[in-house]
Structure 1
Amino acid sequence: MEWTLYPIKDFPQFHETWNGLNQALSNSPLLDTAFVAPLLDYFTDGTELIAVYGAKEQPETIAIIHSRKNNIWETLQPSNAPLGMWLSRDKTLPANQLRSLIKKLPGKALSFSITQQDPLFITRPENTSCIESLDYIETAHIDFPDSFQEYWTSRSKNLRHNMKRQKNYLRKNDITPRLETWNTSNNMHQGVLDYAKIESSGWKGDIDSAVAEGDAQSEFYNAMLCNFCRTNEALILRYYYNEDLVASDLCLLRNKVLYILKTTYVETVKSTSPAHIMRFDYYQDTVDRGALNRVEFYGPLKEWHKKWTNDIRTMFHANIYRNQFINWARKISKLMR
């Protein structure tokens, strides 16, 4: 069995194969072609490759890769993708298979990195002379019991008191909160546009990292969410104080698991946290209806995550070197710097 490399323009030919392998493994919407194809449309330059290990129709591994610099290769990792573009039937990342990929790559490739991997799907490798495993981030998730009340009573008294205080504040100030859930293709564009307006008005806008109207990020989210509307898995949460939109989340919902991709709120709103109240209302309703079992945040762990859940895991990168001498030379160079 060996690796075969294809140009990225051939990816439409691999849609069925890619989705079949994803469904056999994690079935994550973040690795579905409905998510991956728009990533390729908006965040690639055409030099990327599709690496296939085994038969083209039923491979053991398939990945989207690119050369970063100086014969260093890695899985494709746009900033809008929580997971690296790697699918493998073998969860253990076999060293021989990985080193054979390095030898197959154009030029004299020195190393290959599998980026942003979830230990739920891929077993984190042990460090060896040619393989190095690195922490990426800690990330949180919530696993709900059968009732929201059971979950809520398990949280800290401080969190429960704070939510009650905020709800009381809204009532005393004649502010009527309202949650809307948008999940059809005819309102995805407006939902992303409204999201961009809020995010661009805050600190992310000040540092030019916000989703903005007409930019590649907004076009990606619109196209991607519209793709998932076809399977009823796209979801935009929108929260209002009276008639004012004050918070929004861009999400995917598959098999009763909510994936929160992006979140924003109006930063000028004081005395309450509209994004937290929005999620409280959504969780309470969907858990009690049996429509939600789990929430995945897939972002760096924050203090507020710890108040809502105790479930934390560490995502990782795996670096594979052509030989042990390259790994040693890299370590020595790092120590000298």
Structure 2
Amino acid sequence: MVQLHKYSGAGNDFVVLDGRTEDVSAYRSPEKIAELCDRTAGFRAADGRIGADGLMILTDGPDCDFRMEYYNSDGSGGMMCGNGGRCIVAFADALGLQPADGRVFRFVAADGEHTGEILAREGGCKTVRIRMIDVQDFHPALDGWFLDTGTRHFVRFVPDVEAVDVEEEGRRARWDPVFAPIGANANFVSVDPDGTLRVRTFEKGVEGETLACGTGITASAIAAFLASPRAAGNYFSDRFAEKPISAPPSTTPTHAPSFADVTGESPMRYSIQARIARLGVEFVPGDGCFTDVYLTGPAEEILRDV
């Protein structure tokens, strides 16, 4: 019998399997994934939450410590999940896998190679830092920004993210024709006086709001930089000269933050508050893309099926 694990990354929860030692082929079917992730009758965690936002399988891979297979709760795959990436690093650590270099895991996901490192341990919770892919695809879209951070995202800045009907507004943006035929996740962001970004995300594949989205949080931090005067004046001037892909014609998102970054130095660092957890994003802008993109936050096992 295949052992099922349940992990949470900032509230984003996943069923996780070890595909190295067990036959998990049946768990790749969309029907089985949807069954386990169903929020009314799926896999129940110790915290009482039923179902999951997605399913992940850890497998062996050439020239890396492991491979990460990620599936949304509807069975769709082919994308990266930032919170899932942190969770699968924590899972690899719990399984006793040792990084080839002794400290930092190298793993391959649908969007390419990543690294992951355990920074701290407190009880059953681990603080994990993962390196995301370089971000090269970004441009103004609708009244915000489109970015591909391993998954496609739309980011809109709002005065108060708590006042947004994320289910309604998110679904509308997720299915907007400008993002067809694949669609995009929709992120809504407001900025606290101390510079903290508050982010809420409607995820495609889940088709609803999740407690956190790692690639969306990463996209939101980069969009905050793009929306700033510093970015417009010093970086990516060609992107600002492009015609937006949809109305309104302005390249400056509504309610964009008026600052560039918290530190004023490179790498840029942002603190992000998701629904129930705080995360950090850092990156280096320049030469037409964002490099050295890192996402840091909690990851913990909340159930093991025994």
TM-score (normalizing by structure 2): 0.35
Q: Relative to total residues, which structure has the larger helix share, 1 or 2?
A: 1
Higher strand share: 2
